[in-house]
Structure 1
Amino acid sequence: MSELLEVRALSVRYGATCGIAEAEISVPAGGVVSLLGANGAGKSSILKGVAGLADAQGEVIFEGRDLSRASARERVKSGIVYVPEGREIVTALTVDENLTLGGFLLDGRTRAARRSAILDLFPEIANRTRAPAWMLSGGEQQMLAIGRALMSGPRLLLLDEPSLGLAPLLIRRVFERLAQIRTETGLSILLVEQNYAMVSRFSDVLYFVRSGQISGHRLASEIDMSEEARRQLLESYLGARH
């Protein structure tokens, strides 16, 4: 697969604090790449740096174009869409209004077609389009957050902890829908997640983030091994039991 996204020497700072230093990551077209690491390791900083939502240095090359100096809005127009940790849907607005926000740059016909496709994908929210978003369950809110992001027709979806706060059944359901989207549309995904068992089945490549740096990466297929071997491998990259 050709590379859709290439991140070169990406560094993100928050004042005097380093979120991530000199990160090198690539995401193939149609691929899923996951970032694994402890809380505070720098995973979310990578997503924000790619999305243009952080003070970042380095290169972000997307579909062969240098977006390093592009604004977050310009990156969305280019096909990079970020779903933050905690979802950050507008809870005072209805489900429909949240979806409309995600497609505000679209013409009416395209917006209606995408809305219909998203509601087919997430039937859990299809019969609640007039309900305020705060009334949805955690899993439904996550589906709405992903649906809102899909309204813009992204080529690359940046997902930050989509399983956070969800019951195991809902986690499986969310990841099943993501796999379906990938199969049907060729969407690429850069994912931050701590649920190792889930991401190892869902991903093509795993990057390990430790103390603000990329400590290594492996093909997910290479980690299909015994529990003890898997534990030793993760400890070698992450320095802790997972």
Structure 2
Amino acid sequence: MITLLTDLDSSYPLWLQISSVAAWVGFVLSLAWVVSRTVSKDTEILRKIVHIGTGNVILLAWWLDIPAILGITASILAGAITLLSYRFPILPGINSVGRKSLGTFFYAVSIGILVAWFWYLNQPYYAALGILIMTWGDGSAALVGQRFGKHKYTVLGGQKSWEGSLSMTFVSFVISSLILYSVQGNIWQTWVVSLIVAVVATVLESFSFLGIDNLTVPLGTAALAFYLNQVMYVTHLTN
């Protein structure tokens, strides 16, 4: 049975863990509000600020050893709020009423699943890898694609650009490399796994119907990195 309270004996006090996360989320939402009032009311820009900003909470959860139960609870609450926002103007500028995408909801769900999975395995860095690839990789793909994307292609009715996809590959590789290097060092598996994960992340991101990439990218990349490292480790031991 999964014990979600095993991290409650963290060296960091619970009040510090919660207040740190709350302070960061408050900062991100405040930044989005200021931008909407002073710079741009473009809802896509506001969504990307919140998308990229809130995703980095996973780093705080990892570094501060926040209990899994807190991350899962926050994910459930965020998911419920985003579902309601599709019917009511709870999150104007982030989710518009009737918006034909469940991306924000899938984003919250993916965080909850990854926290439950990899906190239980005591390998939270895989959860961070998946979420940050979605956070920064997808965010960069959208921004680069909108600004510089001149070579378009279509997947299941959704239009992408090669420039945006290449940005997704590059950023995903950098994030995966940094995280794996920090936990397993400068070994060949770090770079090979990161390259494979980056390519797969780009393929998954290209299928973004109804925002499903916000679920498939973080879950797929985290699971792939975990699986490849297990396989390569066993192969190394048997050789």
TM class, shorter-length: under 0.3
Higher normalized helix content (fraction of residues)? 2
Q: TM-score, normalised by structure 2?
A: 0.28
TM-score, with length taken from structure 1: 0.28
User: Relative contact order (C-alpha < 8 Å, sep 6+): which is higher?
Assistant: 1
